[in-house]
Structure 1
Amino acid sequence: MSAEENRTNGVPATPAGPQPEPLRFFGTAWVDHSHGYAARRLGVAVGSLAAAAAACFVLRFAYQGLQIAAVGGFVSLLVVVMFAVCSALAFGHTWSSFSTRPDPDRQSSLRGLMAIGFVGSLLAYFFRSLTEAPGEKLHRAEYEQAREEYDRRVTRRSGNPARKRRRDA
């Protein structure tokens, strides 16, 4: 047991400075790609694709229900177009939220659209998880910037500047 662990009753001390923000399904494994990062990415990709396929299957049942109810071609077309447009918008919004922090007010106003277009969000999650943990690039940039700012703040000058020798010209 090290001296640091001994002072905190066997619990390792947290390092000084900013800590990485955990990502859903990944925790902080995205920082150094440890603790089964590749397996988690594969699981997220497979899971989001399976969820999107299951959602499309359920939407097909809903469409068949409209056909059985004989609501007419216009209403059926309207429902299909609504889900397609909402899914496309949800895909775009989810995809952009992986590279920039979304505005909380806009996020709350789009809650209904995102609920209707959930298939698009699932597909965006699938495609992003093929290359990285969804949101990793944004979180990595923010974390590295915070580390640089912290390192700049805690770096101390050597010596006392008041006792600095002056050059004789």
Structure 2
Amino acid sequence: MNGTETTTDADTGPGQASGPEPIRFFGTTWVNHDGDYRMRRAGVAAGALLAAAVGVVVLIFGMQGILAATSGPMLPFLYTIAFAVCSVIGFHHTWVSFLRRPAPTAEDQPEAAKGLYTIGFIGVLLAYFARVLVEAPGEKLHRAEYEERAGAGTAATPSSAPASAPAEG
């Protein structure tokens, strides 16, 4: 090695802990809350809230266009309900994704529901905003996985067991 090569997850052997998985916008600063972690959280919160506000303004312009088209009273109602429902679904999906990984059997589900999450972008942005007030989005999940991998790499061997432990069997 010439000193410039880096080790990847594929380079680590079995039982060795790999480095922490980076989180979008935070990198690996979430591990020790070092560097500019707090500034990044404030920036992501402000950015998500600003983007949600801009999205609401765009939706209001869309509503004004529908009202100007004299399309009847039902279309604006359906427009509002559709965006509200999709925003709730987007918020819920995003919030849950911060807490646990999707089940392997549900791999095709996000692709099928991608349109709902896209329409409900305001809910997704508000979920990011709400979560970043507590921690980096997904930090709890990433920390648990990282500590599990790190713990597996430093598992106790029989020679490191305390001498006073009773024998099993």
| TM score, norm. by length of structure 2 | 0.82
Q: For residues 20-72 of structure 1, give each alpha carbon's deviation from its aligned partner in whole angstroms, at most 9, with x where no partner exists.
A: 11100011111111120000000000000000000000000000000111111
Aligned equivalents of 1:23, 1:122: Cα separation in 2:
16
Quick one: which of 125, 131, 134 aligns to 1:131? 134
Q: How many residue pairs end up in the alignment? A: 150
Larger radius of gyration: 1
| Structure 2 counterpart of 1:60 | 60
| Structure 1 counterpart of 2:163 | none
How far did 1:158 drift?
4.2
| Structure 2 counterpart of 1:163 | none
How far did 1:17 drift?
2.2
How far did 1:108 drift?
1.3
| Root mean square deviation, CA, Å | 1.9
How far did 1:85 drift?
0.6
Q: Is 1:39 aligned to residue 63 of structure 2?
A: no
Aligned equivalents of 2:107, 2:137: Cα separation in 1:
19
Q: Higher RCO, 1 or 2 (CA under 8 Å, sep at least 6)? A: 2
Flag structure 1 segments of 5+ consecutive residues without an equivalent: 1-7, 160-169
How far did 1:156 drift?
4.5
Q: Is 1:146 aligned to residue 149 of structure 2?
A: yes
How far did 1:9 drift?
3.0
CA 1:12 to 1:35, structure 2 compared with 1: closer, same or farther past 3 Å?
A: farther
| TM score, norm. by length of structure 1 | 0.82
What's the secondary structure of 2:154's corresponding residue?
Answer: helix
Flag structure 2 segments of 5+ consecutive residues without an equivalent: 161-169
| Structure 2 counterpart of 1:9 | 2
Q: For residues 49-106 of structure 1, give each alpha carbon's deviation from its aligned partner in whole angstroms, at most 9, with x where no partner exists.
A: 0000000000000000001111111011001000001101111111111001124222
- 101-110 or 74-83, which moves further after superposition? 101-110
Aligned equivalents of 1:12, 1:34: Cα separation in 2:
24
Aligned equivalents of 1:123, 1:70: Cα separation in 2:
32
| Structure 2 counterpart of 1:27 | 27
How far did 1:146 drift?
1.0
Between the aligned residues of both structures, percent identity stands at 49
Question: AA paired with 2:146?
Answer: Y
How far did 1:157 drift?
4.6
Aligned equivalents of 1:27, 1:13: Cα separation in 2:
16
Quick one: which of 117, 127, 146 aligns to 1:114? 117
CA 1:58 to 1:148, structure 2 compared with 1: closer, same or farther past 3 Å?
A: same
